Structure 1
């Protein structure tokens, strides 16, 4: 494998205008690590190089881990995808969705069904915060309220958001939101363990992922890469606005965006998925379960809503559908990148990427810490092209 183009690309990322100050990449194929590389700094001010000891905020890459945890429970027969979620989280028994009836009036209607699959596929009607709809605004206020009171438990989080109206009738559309965050509470309810305890016992410990968790001790804080952003004048600034969430006092084990990890740990995790659910004699998941996970599960109307994200803000998602907690490549030509049909992945808000290609037994883990304007639309497609192009 010719690694020079990959080395050059990482250097380009850390030297380009408004790019990350540091980045890290690992690539595995057929169970072997064929590339590990670093460029730049974990902390530019301290001149601390990025390296194998560096920890990263995974943000929404956490969703892939939560989805795998859900698949473990599915394999054990502890639920079915089409089960009502209220069967396990009764706070959702009276779920409603909002419709606009004109003249700034709103009506709340009961949902016909709200299933576990709706949460895994982002078709529940839950959103993130924002001003795009009344649901976005309500969820934004709820999330701010949790932060203002210093956090909450994973189970409390589910009870708080269950009171909020959904954006649409579940299953009829797609909207990126806090679905996997709620499923952390589901995992607690079904497994009888705390969310982190389940992840540790079923995934992290068997795979030797010692650096992965929701909260940081003093040593972990020293290893954490500094997160940056660029102000309007293009000056590099530190963004530590959410670092309080990695203190144990915050309590919320956020399955949708709360994990901290290392390049080593996420390489172990994605390598396991690329090899069909096994690594070094440890079976985490069955290969047929991974196959189910990486199928497109969106019905035509929801798939069209997902594809709208390609046109309005996420052009690098073109060619993909959405499976169970991951995007999955359906149209290679439409993606405008090298790859394989059925490759699945997701990214994090600060620029991280987890990608798994079972057909090539390939995994890619990329890390940088830049938010907002994380440059994923620039970096991630180029990584795909250069890495796939380097394969023999």
Structure 2
């Protein structure tokens, strides 16, 4: 079987990625590989402690933070979100998803905390990005690829969201992305702390996630990778440099895709979930909350309608859950997610396995790129 370094090296040599850092853990056996460079100029070799924009791998972290508030008794899964998010207390829904955004009907029921965690609140991306209500999410809320310095502060962002109708009635359909950003605002308001402060106090500090946050301090930018977008000619175009959009704390800390991190920090988070919410003997999450996070909550029809993003798999809280073994890496119960910046992090409770891949190339569509699929095949022993 090809080793991990060679698996990754093929993609560095063909120019599809400048570099990558990966971690494969099977119980106490941990393999880490760093290949290539932190940028296309080759100015610095990739290293185990290289820092990456992890994009949507932020979503499981946000879900865990929300479940901490559930464990605290501050919020409950069945609670309407209106007391913390009054902007969403009386939502309206477009009569026809393809129709005009001013042709609306009242929501049949309130949006709940569970709706946000399962991505069934009515806001987000369906398979058709051209729908009028979806276009407003992109233009008004900057939903899409992470751009932290271009998003309004939470109160202004929520005010804009309140003017956009739901695409579906609450609970009816799974829609991607927006619910994690909304959940981040709810966490901050319910806790009385900024999202960064809550993450740091309840997750990052207890787990030793010293390189995870919404910005990279100047002293650490020599470890921060550059970010690229593939072009039509097969090359890579610069999108963000180490002194770019993640060089200062943003006005809107995105619970959907704003974090930077390293393989070891993400491994610490994964180990906490595998250990049923504990780390170094300290309980951070209840076992019940971990099980709810890592259990599929979708109906078969919701999974089918979400195939563009989920490829037939289910959704827990903040991440997908494998329900069918379509490919070697699809192990029933595997939980995690991918980031549009070319990142992926998964754990499998039944085996104790953790797989993390960090690259710095934007995914051009929801389907995972070849380097990601090759990495998963290696991790699965295929």
| Structures share fold, TM-score greater than 0.5 | yes
Q: Is the 8 A contact 2:97 2:168 kept in 1?
A: no
Alpha-carbon shift at residue 276 of structure 1 (Å): 2.0
> Which position in structure 2 is the counterpart of 1:231?
231
> Which position in structure 1 is the counterpart of 2:164?
164
Q: Is the 8 A contact 1:123 1:170 kept in 2?
A: yes
Q: Is the 8 A contact 2:56 2:340 kept in 1?
A: yes
Give the distance between the partners of 1:288 and 1:102, measured in 2 at CA. 39
Q: Within 5 Å, which residues of 2 pair with 1:260-339?
A: 260-307=260-307, 309=308, 314=309, 317-332=310-325, 335-339=326-330
- Which of 92, 95, 98 aligns to 1:96? It is 92
Flag structure 1 segments of 5+ consecutive residues without an equivalent. none
Q: Are the structure 2 counterparts of residues 370 and 169 from structure 1 closer, same or farther at C-alpha, using a change threshold of 3 Å?
A: same
Give the distance between the partners of 2:78 and 2:300, measured in 1 at CA. 18
- Mean Cα displacement is larger for which, 317-326 or 261-270? 317-326
Alpha-carbon shift at residue 156 of structure 1 (Å): 3.4
Q: Is the 8 A contact 1:321 1:328 kept in 2?
A: yes
Q: Are the structure 2 counterparts of residues 82 and 237 from structure 1 closer, same or farther at C-alpha, using a change threshold of 3 Å?
A: same
Q: Is the 8 A contact 2:120 2:174 kept in 1?
A: yes
> Which position in structure 2 is the counterpart of 1:121?
118
Give the distance between the partners of 1:99 and 1:373, measured in 2 at CA. 31
Q: Are the structure 2 counterparts of residues 149 and 282 from structure 1 closer, same or farther at C-alpha, using a change threshold of 3 Å?
A: closer
Aligned-residue Cα RMSD (Å) equals 2.7
Give the distance between the partners of 1:389 and 1:217, measured in 2 at CA. 38
> Which position in structure 2 is the counterpart of 1:56?
52
SS at match of 1:341: coil
Alpha-carbon shift at residue 148 of structure 1 (Å): 11
SS at match of 1:365: strand
- Mean Cα displacement is larger for which, 376-385 or 41-50? 376-385
> Which position in structure 1 is the counterpart of 2:5?
7
Give the distance between the partners of 2:99 and 2:336, measured in 1 at CA. 42
Q: Are the structure 2 counterparts of residues 275 and 149 from structure 1 closer, same or farther at C-alpha, using a change threshold of 3 Å?
A: closer
- Mean Cα displacement is larger for which, 242-251 or 85-94? 242-251
Give the distance between the partners of 1:201 and 1:40, measured in 2 at CA. 34
Q: Is the 8 A contact 2:97 2:133 kept in 1?
A: no
Q: Within 5 Å, which residues of 2 pair with 1:197-208?
A: 197-208=197-208
> Which position in structure 2 is the counterpart of 1:137?
135
SS at match of 2:216: coil
The superposition leaves residues 141-172 of structure 1 with CA deviations (integer Å, 9 ceiling, x where unpaired) of: 21359979954333432332122111111211
- Which of 371, 375, 381 aligns to 2:373? It is 381
More helix by share: 1
* TM, length-normalised to structure 2: 0.90
> Which position in structure 1 is the counterpart of 2:34?
38
